[in-house]
Structure 1
């Protein structure tokens, strides 16, 4: 099974709070600047027509690429919102700063 983990890497929790389910919990982690730069540089838009080289791919090929690379999610809502394919979750784990995990309660972050 393949899927994506959608993450807000902007540092602004507002977008995440807007989409949280009524009983949902948000966990926050800090990530290294190097990892964030890597994601920004490799992320693909959801729609191939929004990429300068998108015409070189069929829609099926583009869908396959989005399973290999991070996906830019909701660019109209804010920057640094990404879908991370399950194949890249180990890289994500490596980009998380040790002991930086926090739980968001209401609209504030607590330990």
Structure 2
């Protein structure tokens, strides 16, 4: 019996999802699906229970070169939390704990 090695490169290519797009202050921003961030971000955030700083770090990683422009726009903290939840929902797999459902 011959076993074929699991090819992670093929899985990554096949699992690619559409980028997450959103607008704020009339500007369009785009981030990769949250699960496509590089594993290096794991060393700087608590994925299981992300703090406000962790969410900022993840958004910064997702926005990449667009971060400086995004960072200059005044945005309420509650709106950042909603942006993070929508980004998670776009992926379909939550990063950290999502907010409790209404019936919990």
TM bracket, shorter-chain basis: under 0.3
- Larger gyration radius, structure 1 or structure 2: 2
**Relative contact order: is structure 1 or structure 2 higher (C-alpha 8 Å, sep ≥ 6)?**
1
Query: TM (normalized to structure 1)?
Result: 0.26
The structure whose residues are more often strand, as a share, is 1
Query: TM (normalized to structure 2)?
Result: 0.27
